[in-house]
Amino acid sequence: MKIEILTIFPGMLEGPFGESMIRRAVERGLVEIEIIDLRSFASGRHRQVDDAPYGGGRGMVFKPEPLFKAVETLQERSGGSRARVILLTPQGRTFNQEIARELSGEKRLLLICGRYEGVDERVREVLVDDEISIGDYILTGGELAAAVVVDAVVRLLPGFLEEASVAEESFSGFLLEYPHYTRPPVFRGMAVPPVLLSGDHAAIARWRRKQALLRTRQRRPDLLEKAALSPEDRRLLKEMKL
């Protein structure tokens, strides 16, 4: 997968992608991440990318010319494979694990990070395939949102994690994950559930499934409605209601 990110603050994204597992994914060739300075597509001595909004009001708006030039140049230079162009915006569809999975199947993503009041509407109308919000709050810019999207997408790429760990974690199958424990077996009087020390793998799997169902019902009952529950899951849920 290739991910290109257009921003006026490239330095903000170097940290998140230059460390830890995302960096390793880049080094292993699972993904190529290119952070591109939008100003390099702006003209004039000051390489201005923004201007005052028509109709008045506070703040500035990203001009269409640099964004059109940037997106068209990037699409053309990559030959046949057209990138899916995503605008990070609080007005987009709310990002979640399903969308991360959907995006992880793309060959190329081109993310546009807004700033100020956002981008000229003609960019949204013509250039953009998809609009994504990372939640119902307003950030100062799209860079942190882009970092969140890229992180969630890259860890789903084949070869990044073991298939099993992706299948079990929260939101896979619309259930939250079961609780985790590690050594020591007793910490400040709090003991690890004995079944986890039993070595009985079937019993451990049953306990984990039950905990996942319980957690989801307590914290995110909305997810349970979408989960594919087996007759045994339904029985466990009924039992826990008593």
Q: For residues 121 and 200, which CB has a smaller minimum distance to ligand SAM in the complex?
A: 121
DSSP per-residue codes, 74-89: HHHHTTT-PPEEEEEE
Nearer residue to ligand SAM within complex by CB, 22 or 67: 67
Report the alpha-carbon distance of residue 166 to residue 156 in Å, rounded.
Answer: 7
Closest to ligand SAM by CB, 18 or 135: 135
| Binding residues among 143-162 for ligand SAM as defined by CB under 6 A | 145
User: How many chain residues interact with ligand SAM (CB under 6 A)?
Assistant: 19
- What's the residue count for the chain? 242
90 binds ligand SAM (CB under 6 A): yes
Nearest-angstrom CA–CA distance, 67 and 59: 18
To ligand SAM, the closest distance from the beta carbon of 240 in angstroms equals 35
| Helix or strand (DSSP H, E) at 64 | helix 64-77
Burial 20-33 (b: 16+ CB within 10 A, else e): eebeebbeeebbeb
Among 134, 150, 153, 236, binds ligand SAM (CB under 6 A): 134
* Site for ligand SAM contains 1 (CB under 6 A): no
Q: What is the Cα–Cα distance from 5 to 147, expressed in whole angstroms? A: 10
- CA dist., res. 83 & res. 181, Å (int): 42
Contact residue for ligand SAM among 117, 151, 169, 233 (CB under 6 A): 117
The answer to whether residue 66 forms part of the interface with ligand SAM (CB under 6 A) is no
* Cα distance between residue 186 and residue 136, in whole Å: 40
* By the rule CB under 6 A, 118 interacts with ligand SAM: yes
Q: Does 89 bind ligand SAM (CB under 6 A)?
A: yes
Least separation in angstroms between residue 8's CB and ligand SAM is 11
- Give the footprint of ligand SAM on this chain (CB under 6 A): 88-91, 113-115, 117-118, 133-135, 137-142, 145
